[in-house]
Structure 1
């Protein structure tokens, strides 16, 4: 993929663009090539091969504003890099200008108010580690290396969803650079429509350079990993479905199927108990009950810092593999769905792939659907279909990834008739327009109205948005 268009006047435009950028930003932070440029365009998914024209390593909001204005003036597409974990590589655009926020990772904890002020490039682990020092924690996803702002804007399923809602539900306010380069502060009282859209509407409305996030006094949870052999899978998954339908807010459980340590797939159960540690750690309590559903291959649960769980997921899914992701939303683990995921687990094409189901329940379901842009509030499971492989790695036999991608697509297709409309917007790409069209449900019309008001030229495209033709009528705020 070419890094620059071939128009005759492009070099002149690039020279003018670079001159403007370097007049407002230190020249060493305006990158068009070299080792630092290569580092800046290296993302979590090594299958992404997108070459932007210029990377601006931002360290202040003013840097972001200058970058947005320069890109607009010179007709260059803009993208924003935070954690860089998007599977489609939307942190980069071909021939574009990247606003690289990885130098903006400051986290300030106001322990008295229970609030974290988080810079736009901070990782989830940055926030959780800082909060733990004050005896607090933040609602995040399962991985620490994911950008905190990015996961929050798209929704943010995670191990505290049942107790405290989505990451988006814990967003209290934000500083945003808009498409014209202006800066605004938004919360429930200031620019309320924009704030509504940021809570679940994805990175489509501006560059969030700072976010204020609600914290909670739960730095230690009871958590861990339980693995069961696939031979017990059907019964384990069916029993878990019944347990999770009736679980308390304090218990959120990720369930999945992984290639097991001996080669055969295994059922993965990852509970997080955020209530009383004594109750959660009790031998007859709600967490240890999950170790007695069958005969486990591994049962390692107990009190742990939340940061330890994030680090464990990062180790399981390291940066640099090639991959693809798909998503479905299901009401629960029906007999047919269990059969489908078991069949797909037996057909894993790579030892690094996974099928994960994230529980949506409790506090997250009690947020009115129209109060944020996130489009689905009834209890459900978000299915994460992850296909990962190493380029030219031993045993993959397919450095191009076609058979690994085909495995993910086949599972995605097999689940369609048993799935609810839409899907998790952070995991949706251009190849599933039907899911994109339904992703925001009754909030679609209002979301597109906000987009039209704050970014009518679609400068920002962090995650897919439906087209106006597919939008139902706006709901009341």
Structure 2
């Protein structure tokens, strides 16, 4: 089914009026009750004013709204979980295809497959899978859109055992820029299938997707906090542990605000294997220094993802940057420690994600996501109170990123890079860039979808 739509009420109407008479889902335009909430995303510093927000009820609403926007010459964007910090999901003056009402989750325990609609959050999928003793690789928080995360990569506590989130994506249903509906998978639209896994939301709107599930009981997880002055010895010990970690042990580290408002360095393991073996494996993480708090215990995997709920709460101002580090060298440890001590807001934090195990045993050209060597994804996250001036916090991010640059791998993770940083984004795709650009030209030659500007 292509873009011409016999349900159109006429080309003379505004795009908002056309949409309101066309789709099953609700449409919010400027001045409507609910418009302000509809245009709000997780990052409180994003203040974009779209022409209309279409709360799509199903794939046909997506197709019809897309057709109308294109016919009216209005740009489009796609909102899944609404956690895109850069605000790309809410296009200024555009039509937002909001998938937040498309939240169905269907678990087939016999085949260990989950089918989800395009607006499902990670926590919703994990809760449904856990009811059957199953799980899939997800990120570090529950509130992120599962599909958007999978299209970019998806670092999390199960990465060592089950790979990136995108490594567990089995197939996806899409509405393309020309209005056609396709299924991309290992046997269908194979170039598109390759590009989706790491190329981001640049080729169409994913209205549903299927994920591989894995048997998983309790995991051992939690957090151990140390005073910031112990950071060098803690991070040295952390590097030694992760360098020899089995697939079942993935450990996040970083800096946040601890008891008393002081910066602390933390380690946060996820052990996904035998619990007795796991207790022995995580114990050294409690002895890297003198902890101010240690809370590691068996728990359901979905519960573990509540750990950073407070830090991911919506409404604050946020800005992010990232560096891929091959390891925590002495220079990197010094840079991160200095960054923690000079942060411009007690809400700001640094996160170090551990990439190893199963995720590294995928060829760099098997998916668009190219960086398959062991490494550490470092997130530099500035968080400030609503209404507070942002310049000093953005400067802090730039300084930290620059201090880590000399020892970093080329490029960066597109979900965390500034969309304007085209050069680093392109470098992140490595040898996959030319193929990715060719797929973009084939499926979206008019650049209707622009989640990653580097692919234009």
TM range (shorter): over 0.9
Quote the Cα distance in structure 2 between the aligned partners of 1:444 and 1:463.
12
Quote the Cα distance in structure 2 between the aligned partners of 1:185 and 1:162.
29
Aligned pairs for 1:342-357 within 5 A: 342-357=337-352
SS of the residue 2:37 aligns to: helix
For 1:158-178, what per-residue CA distance to the aligned partner results, in whole angstroms no more than 9, with x for missing partners? 110000000000000000000
Q: Conserved in 2, the CA contact under 8 Å of 1:128 and 1:137?
A: yes
Closer/same/farther in 2, CA of residues 417 and 53 from structure 1, 3 Å limit? same
Closer/same/farther in 2, CA of residues 298 and 138 from structure 1, 3 Å limit? same
Quote the Cα distance in structure 1 between the aligned partners of 2:290 and 2:113.
43
SS of the residue 2:347 aligns to: coil
Quote the Cα distance in structure 2 between the aligned partners of 1:135 and 1:48.
39
Quote the Cα distance in structure 2 between the aligned partners of 1:431 and 1:19.
33
The match for 1:471 is none
> What root-mean-square deviation, in Å, do the aligned CA atoms of Structure 1 and Structure 2 show?
1.5
Following superposition, the deviation at residue 98 of structure 1 comes to 0.3
Structure 2 runs not aligned, ≥5 long: 1-9
Match of 1:207 among 174, 190, 205: 205
Quote the Cα distance in structure 1 between the aligned partners of 2:453 and 2:226.
37
Following superposition, the deviation at residue 219 of structure 1 comes to 4.2
Following superposition, the deviation at residue 385 of structure 1 comes to 0.3
Quote the Cα distance in structure 1 between the aligned partners of 2:284 and 2:155.
24
Quote the Cα distance in structure 1 between the aligned partners of 2:406 and 2:25.
54
The match for 2:291 is 296
The match for 1:455 is 444
Aligned pairs for 1:122-271 within 5 A: 122-271=120-269
The match for 2:453 is 464
Closer/same/farther in 2, CA of residues 219 and 53 from structure 1, 3 Å limit? farther
State the TM-score, normalizing by the size of structure 1.
0.91
Following superposition, the deviation at residue 466 of structure 1 comes to 4.5
Quote the Cα distance in structure 2 between the aligned partners of 1:356 and 1:461.
27
For 1:284-343, what per-residue CA distance to the aligned partner results, in whole angstroms no more than 9, with x for missing partners? x01122111111111100111112122222223211100100011010000011001111
State the TM-score, normalizing by the size of structure 2.
0.95
Q: Conserved in 1, the CA contact under 8 Å of 2:159 and 2:356?
A: yes
Following superposition, the deviation at residue 115 of structure 1 comes to 0.7
SS of the residue 1:332 aligns to: coil
Quote the Cα distance in structure 2 between the aligned partners of 1:376 and 1:144.
25
Closer/same/farther in 2, CA of residues 28 and 160 from structure 1, 3 Å limit? closer
The match for 1:358 is 353
Residue 446 (structure 1) aligned with residue 438 (structure 2)? no
Closer/same/farther in 2, CA of residues 27 and 193 from structure 1, 3 Å limit? closer
Aligned pairs for 1:1-400 within 5 A: 15-26=13-24, 28-280=26-278, 282=279, 285-392=280-387, 399-400=388-389
Structure 1 runs not aligned, ≥5 long: 1-11, 393-398, 468-477
